[in-house]
Amino acid sequence: MLRALCASFCLFTATTMAAGCSATAAAGSGTNATADTASDDTGLGGADASSDAGAGTDGASVDSGPSIDNLPCPSGVASIVGEGQDMAPGGACIQCHNSGEGPTDLIAGTVFRNLVTVDGCNANAAGSPALPTSFTVEITDATGKVWTTKSSATSGNFRMSANALPGFALPYKARILDSAGGVRAMTKAQSSGDCNTCHTAAGLSGAPGRIVAP
């Protein structure tokens, strides 16, 4: 089962991971096309994020982050979903799906509320008035074409399948937008769509931590 293959991504732990600073990807201009919503065929992400004060290794801008910076699971809710759009928040979605089960995605990741959220923690708590339910994930490919999707209102997961991105050309840029007009963007183009392979709680390959909402 996909759940068994991804068990390592579904572990819910209260261990605080190393911190860094958040990111998403900067979008260019181009023809807009809307992809699937955050369901089994949707999502998006990018690799390297920014770090402490100033610009990070990927050129993303940074800020002081949300007030929940050091909580390993800000929502206080662990994901118990075995399969589907809300499974394994924080896990390397494409890496797992490419092992033989699940839909094939070009871009996938999770939008969290801080940099150090552990694997298996839902991004949002149901009914919480303090957290927006979802965010818009915007992708701009090498030709300037723009696609958008929504992160899950529960897990924070987002995905974009090959069917959702016809003619998609690497490298790409991306950014996260909230309903109030806030934007968190990465300025360096990315060639890997498996966002959570770098955007771990500890941060890998120059990423300072999780993809974080504006």
Q: What is the pLDDT of residues 100-143, one digit of tens each?
A: 777 889 999 999 999 999 999 999 886 555 555 789 999 999 99
pLDDT at 102: 74
pLDDT at 128: 57
pLDDT at 131: 57
pLDDT at 130: 55
Quick one: which of 63, 53, 60, 51 has its CA closest to 208? 51
Rg (C-alpha) for the chain, rounded Å, is 15
SS3 85: coil
Positions in the chain short of pLDDT 50: 1-66
pLDDT at 103: 81
pLDDT at 194: 96
- Structure token pair of residue 44: 């998006």
pLDDT at 187: 75
